[in-house]
Structure 1
């Protein structure tokens, strides 16, 4: 669990150091802007935004049992962040697979996208959709699908 917080923590510490240096140089405005930018980056890469990732094999097993979609993503991807933010609370119902931590997940994404690791790739009932509309993903959570 602590490994999930390493990058966000480093971003907060780095941002604090850079902001402090700017503040000491007499630029409180740029210090504030830089600190806010680093805090935003830390937040986007934290477990607060993305639910805990599981392996592709486990996600496929769970999805086969309950029909919920699988989202293949990677940290820092602005389209993955957009999807996660626009899904809101319903995003926690999906199975999230970080392709940078799961080679099988990366292989699944490459197979669905002509050899490219294009994310987010959402798999519903074995059918992949690359960078789908968040509303469509939300619809896949309804019991009628």
Structure 2
């Protein structure tokens, strides 16, 4: 199991234990509600909530060709999730690099953030921007390359 799935699996396991306790105490509706809540939290924090990641070198090559920004992210990051959710359908237009799966992507983020792996780091036209406002990222998508 990779690091990306640890939090979602823990959420499902904890939710199952709590829901079982509720069910055994005679509250099946509360048990089902809690289990559903924990499963939704697990889904939102899983890598499945993000567009398919590519490698840093592939993303840089594609970005140079089409001018679209690159987003360096990692699963479990609340700021990455905020960016992903606020971008909505526009998120698929960006190039996403999971720094936990790509050492070159992690190195790029460390170089941009004084040695820290601070995400999301969005690279637009070769310039890194750490934790930018989602509205600003959407504006960058509408700019000509």
TM-score higher than 0.5 here?
Answer: yes
Q: What is the RMSD of the two structures over their aligned residues, measured on CA atoms? A: 2.5
Distance 1:77 1:66, change over 3 A: same
The answer on whether the counterparts of 2:45 and 2:76 sit within 8 Å (CA) in structure 1 is yes
Counterpart position of 2:112: 112
Alignment partners' CA distance in 2, 1:48 and 1:126: 27
Structure 2 length as normaliser, TM-score? 0.84
Counterpart position of 1:73: 73
The answer on whether the counterparts of 1:11 and 1:41 sit within 8 Å (CA) in structure 2 is no
Structure 1 length as normaliser, TM-score? 0.84
Alignment partners' CA distance in 1, 2:79 and 2:11: 23
Counterpart position of 1:59: 59
> How many residue pairs align between the two structures?
142
Alignment partners' CA distance in 2, 1:6 and 1:124: 29
Alignment partners' CA distance in 1, 2:37 and 2:106: 29
Partner SS, residue 122 of structure 1? strand
Once the two structures are TM-superposed, the CA of residue 136 in structure 1 deviates from its matched residue by: 0.6
Deviations 1:10-51 (A, max 9, x none): 457523354123311335575345324322222213454200
The answer on whether the counterparts of 1:120 and 1:130 sit within 8 Å (CA) in structure 2 is yes
Partner SS, residue 141 of structure 1? helix
Range with bigger deviation, 53-62 or 14-23: 14-23
List gaps (5 residues or longer) in structure 2.
Answer: none
Once the two structures are TM-superposed, the CA of residue 131 in structure 1 deviates from its matched residue by: 0.3
